[in-house]
Structure 1
Amino acid sequence: MRRTRLTRILVRRWRWRWRRNPLRRHTDAVEAWIVLVAWALATIGGAVAGAVSAQATETALMRSRAERREVSAVLLETAPADLVDMTTGDICSRVRAQVRWTDSDGVVRTDGASVRAGTKSGATVPVWTDGHGRLVPEPMGPGEARARAILTGAGATVFGGLVILAAGRVVRLGIEHRATERWGEEWARVGPRWGRRTG
């Protein structure tokens, strides 16, 4: 009930700018149009920004996945099985250990990689490399990449819409400020007459 009444008041307050009214100034109509255009642009522009951002993110993640190769590496040391995560206090399920692999050019390489805790030395473990044979983190799967793209797109939609609305608000404040100055100038001319007696 209270919300309905508040909604009616807000709608009535908004609509007076559009109705013919002797008290309505030209700037009131201009402000109403600015608000309408800002909301329309925020809706459309935000949606476009979100779609473009989501597509770009998904494309970049899929390209990253395509550029990475999974190779087999040999573990050079036994991975510790009892390391504790200092932030959570849990035993780590994955730890860093030295591995050796041969890249696509036939060069034998050695580096630290994330492996399952407790894996014995000499075991074969999968690692991911980039186009230059360097170790890189495992790329996101298609589902995870899509979820990241959706979240990025949603953030871009909200941010883009808010930027447009903020720009509309700045324009509106400028118009209001100028209208107030004009009103002050007119009052300075007309106000003193109101104090005089006529007749």
Structure 2
Amino acid sequence: MLGWRWRHSSLRRRSDVVEAWTVLVVAVLILVGAPLAGAAAAWWAHGEARSVSAEQQAERHRVRAEVVGRRSDSLPSVQADGQRAYRATVRWTEPGEGARTATARVPGDARPGEVVDVWFDSRGRSVAPPVDGAAVWQHTLTMGTCAAGGVVLVVLLGHSVVRRVALRRRLAEWEREWARTEPEWTHRGA
């Protein structure tokens, strides 16, 4: 019975043929199209994430600073790496400029007097560390997976619409055939 929609049969309807071709197209789109779309999206996302990472690394610089004190109005926040951080006053010495003090994000477990790494942008504002290679790859894989999953979802949704339309047409064809055949079987019209 496998492949009955492809063979000629008096029971086969046009909607059966359309549905059989739709299954073939769906299989090709899921097995070939979705991975290709995922790979293309991942390639694009990887390039974008690498350029963002390069820009951030060029613009931001790390400073080893001593935590002077915690700001009283600072609420802890969660950074991209999942660690807690809060804003504190830090002090460091830059060659040729002397001691400097600023407010920066420090790890949640940093105590006054402890030396920590803080990041500043070119304007001297405290910023998060630049995106590293692991985050670039995580973004790449996430975008690729979401794109492939989106293609699969759209294809399956389209397939369900085609199946629903094919079923309605098939039932209408059977109804017309039965309207022609039923009087012969039941002898109602005689």
After TM superposition, the score normalised by the length of structure 2 is 0.70
Report the secondary structure of 1:117's partner residue: coil
Structure 1 stretches (4+) deviating beyond 6 angstroms? Answer: none
**Which of 135, 145, 149 in structure 2 is aligned with 1:154?**
145
**Which of 77, 81, 95 in structure 1 is aligned with 2:85?**
95
Q: Deviations over 1:113-135 (max 9, x none)?
A: 13363354484633153x65543
- Kindly state the Cα deviation for residue 79 of structure 1 after the two structures are TM-superposed: 5.9
Q: Which residue of 1 aligns with 2:161?
A: 170
Cα distance change, pair 95–41 in 1 and its aligned pair in 2 (3 A)? closer
How many residue pairs get matched? 172
Cα distance change, pair 98–46 in 1 and its aligned pair in 2 (3 A)? farther
Q: Which runs of 5+ in 2 are unaligned?
A: 77-81
Q: Which residue of 2 aligns with 1:63?
A: 51
- Kindly state the Cα deviation for residue 35 of structure 1 after the two structures are TM-superposed: 0.8
Cα distance change, pair 56–134 in 1 and its aligned pair in 2 (3 A)? farther
Q: Which residue of 2 aligns with 1:24?
A: 12
CA distance in 2, matches of 1:148, 1:177: 43
CA distance in 1, matches of 2:9, 2:124: 74
Q: Which residue of 2 aligns with 1:114?
A: 106
- Asked whether the 8 Å contact 2:13–2:170 carries over to 1, the reply is no
CA distance in 2, matches of 1:145, 1:163: 27
CA distance in 2, matches of 1:163, 1:109: 54
**Which of 114, 130, 137 in structure 2 is aligned with 1:139?**
130
Alignment-mate amino acid for residue 166 of structure 1:
L
Q: Deviations over 1:159-198 (max 9, x none)?
A: 2112112202211211221221232133234323322189
After TM superposition, the score normalised by the length of structure 1 is 0.67
